[in-house]
């Protein structure tokens, strides 16, 4: 929030980000504990740093997301699109918050992670993540026409950088919504996959991350991606 508040208004063309889901823990103890354990099978030790904000109480999470969405709206130019990752639990809140701070709600995209995800006994495999699509105001003539799909099938990558790392190929498809040469902002950068995709696709990029280990990883990856 500190960083975003210092940005100039109307200086960004697109937001693509994966906020913490706020579903990290079912119990108070779990919310206070390290959030890493949820994502591990029992007894397995992780070598990846924890992620921030995934184990917040629901109201704290909502307040944080509200604030970020408000800031993001200010720094975006009119006609800018924003894509927000979420799961099926968080989507209703995210949609309500986005609408209430003034984003136009445009639709819902699907990331299909495929059959590699864990099966669900007596039920349906949770193999998707959702992407809320919003826009600030209406389009300008700065936006060349593009026609993109609504479902993206990509396997989850082997976790080499971050606990919830996205495939670069997925992010490259999403980045297409930003006009070439435009600025993409990711306020929850993590290991910087959004930025790698943006730079590879000829967009400019700004990322923000509060966990210093991930900041370092992202810097290295972005330098690599920016090489000619």
Contact flag: residue 220 with DNA (CB under 7 A): no
- Residue 67's Cβ-side half-sphere holds a number of Cα atoms within 13 Å equal to 11
Give the shortest CB-228-to-a copy of itself separation in angstroms.
Answer: 30
Number of residues that bind DNA (CB under 7 A): 48
Give the shortest CB-156-to-DNA separation in angstroms.
Answer: 5
Q: In what order do the strands lie in the sheet with 151-153?
A: 151-153, 104-112, 128-135, 76-86, 12-17, 183-186, 204-207
CA atoms of 152 and 174, how far apart (whole Å) = 9
Contact flag: residue 151 with DNA (CB under 7 A): no
Give the shortest CB-131-to-DNA separation in angstroms.
Answer: 11
Q: Which of residues 8-67 bind DNA (CB under 7 A)?
A: 18-21, 23-24, 26-30, 33, 38-44, 46, 51, 54
- The answer to whether the CB of 152 falls within 8 A of the CB of 182 is no
Contact flag: residue 124 with DNA (CB under 7 A): no
- Residue 5's Cβ-side half-sphere holds a number of Cα atoms within 13 Å equal to 3
Token readout for 61 is: 């999470």
Q: Which option in a copy of itself, DNA, none does residue 108 bind, with CB closer than 5 to 8 A by kind?
A: a copy of itself
Q: Which of residues 152-181 bind DNA (CB under 7 A)?
A: 155-156, 158-159, 163-164
Token readout for 67 is: 């604030």
Nearer to DNA, 157 or 204 (CB): 157
CA atoms of 68 and 189, how far apart (whole Å) = 13
CA atoms of 200 and 224, how far apart (whole Å) = 10
CA atoms of 189 and 21, how far apart (whole Å) = 14
**Interface positions with DNA (CB under 7 A):** 18-21, 23-24, 26-30, 33, 38-44, 46, 51, 54, 85, 87, 106-107, 113-121, 123, 126, 129, 138-139, 145, 147, 155-156, 158-159, 163-164
**Interface positions with a copy of itself (CB under 8 A):** 81, 88, 91-92, 95-96, 106-110, 112, 115, 117, 119-128, 130, 133, 139, 143, 145-151, 177
């Amino acid at each position: 929030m500190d960083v975003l508040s210092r940005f100039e208004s109307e200086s960004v063309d697109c937001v693509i980000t994966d906020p913490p889901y706020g579903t990290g823990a079912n119990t108070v103890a779990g919310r206070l504990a390290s959030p890493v354990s949820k994502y591990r099978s029992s007894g397995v030790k992780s070598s990846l740093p924890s992620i921030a904000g995934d184990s917040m109480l629901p109201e704290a999470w909502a307040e944080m997301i509200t604030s970020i969405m408000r800031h993001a709206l200010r720094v975006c130019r009119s006609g800018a699109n924003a894509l927000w990752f979420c799961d099926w639990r968080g989507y209703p809140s995210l949609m309500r918050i986005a609408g209430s701070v003034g984003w136009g709600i445009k639709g819902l995209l699907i990331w299909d992670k495929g059959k590699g995800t864990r099966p669900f006994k007596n039920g349906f495999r949770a193999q998707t993540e959702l992407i809320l699509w919003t826009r600030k105001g209406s389009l300008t003539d700065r936006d060349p026409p593009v026609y993109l799909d609504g479902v993206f099938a990509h396997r989850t990558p082997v976790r080499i950088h971050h606990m919830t790392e996205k495939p670069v190929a997925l992010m490259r498809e999403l980045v297409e919504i930003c006009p070439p040469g435009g600025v993409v902002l990711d306020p929850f950068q993590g290991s910087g996959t959004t930025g790698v995709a943006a730079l590879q696709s000829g967009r400019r990029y700004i990322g923000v991350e509060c966990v210093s280990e991930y900041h370092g990883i992202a810097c290295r990856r972005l330098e690599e991606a920016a090489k000619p």
